[in-house]
Structure 1
């Protein structure tokens, strides 16, 4: 693959990594898709690199849901709190670009917990637990995508 092609793949991977931190795009899938396009163009051994990257990203996806589920379950937070936070986060993203996602998530989780517990203190503790779980999942997904990126960098001979 030409240097320009490798730089383009690297740019798409970077956008995917940013999409994990600022959840606007499906970051892990974008990283994997870019590595897949690279593997299709390079061919041969590059498919092994793609396979390792795909396994890392898939493992990250599984681990993030298991860890988040355990964290929420131990804090006594129901899935509906995350769902309401997610929906209001999406609405918030369009009302206040980018940061509205975080504001909307916190407000949605707080509202769901306030309705469920009828106590401001308990609702705030639930909101903090839900926010921590969301940050943990983001960190796990980012770590897996960074590992997949490192594998691609080694395979592409850039690193």
Structure 2
């Protein structure tokens, strides 16, 4: 029984890291939550744990799909080139290593503004477009985090059921 407690605690920690990975997109948070719950279900190997894993899988899939659809549709309607997002992502990673945590957001914002300014050739239009992109990204994060939080709650309930 102690091995299962250790496995559960490690999986719970991985789920917490996954939730943080959604907010600070350095790690693939939803995937980490899914893998941790798979490991937990595999080690517990009972019908209720596999049911919990199925619920978590549905939550993670719904969260990721919703996030992709909402953000993708909005960015496509704004005609934002993929190069803008790529450069912003690269600058976010560079910023993360230059100025830990804060640099991630700063690098992303700077990348957005520079690429939008290059595309639109107008400072106010570039700021407005960058702000809309940031709001869209935030919406995607909130949606994915909401579904991942439901998955984490399902894991917690599953742990309670398993250990009682």
Q: Secondary structure at the match of 1:77?
A: coil
Listed as ranges, the gaps of 5+ residues in structure 1 are none
Residue among 5, 11, 14 paired with 1:12: 14
Task: Report if the CA contact (8 A) 1:81-1:130 is conserved.
Answer: no
Tell me the TM-score normalized by structure 2: 0.89
1:62 aligns with 2:65: yes
Match of 1:118 in 2: 121
How many residue pairs were aligned? 159
What RMSD in Å do the two structures reach over aligned CA positions? 1.8
Task: Tell me if the contact between 1:17 and 1:145 (Cα under 8 Å) persists in the aligned partners.
Answer: yes
Q: Render the CA deviation track for 1:108-155: whole Å, top value 9, x for unaligned.
A: 010110010000011101110111111111111111111111111111
Q: Which stretch of the first structure deviates more once superposed, 65-74 or 103-112?
A: 65-74
Q: TM-score, normalised by structure 1?
A: 0.91
Aligned to 1:35: 37
Q: CA deviation at 1:44?
A: 2.5
Shift of 1:7: 2.5
Q: 2:93 aligns with which of 90, 95, 118?
A: 90
Q: Is the 8 A contact 1:89 1:100 kept in 2?
A: yes
1:156 is paired with a residue of what secondary structure? helix
Give the unaligned 5+ runs of structure 2: none
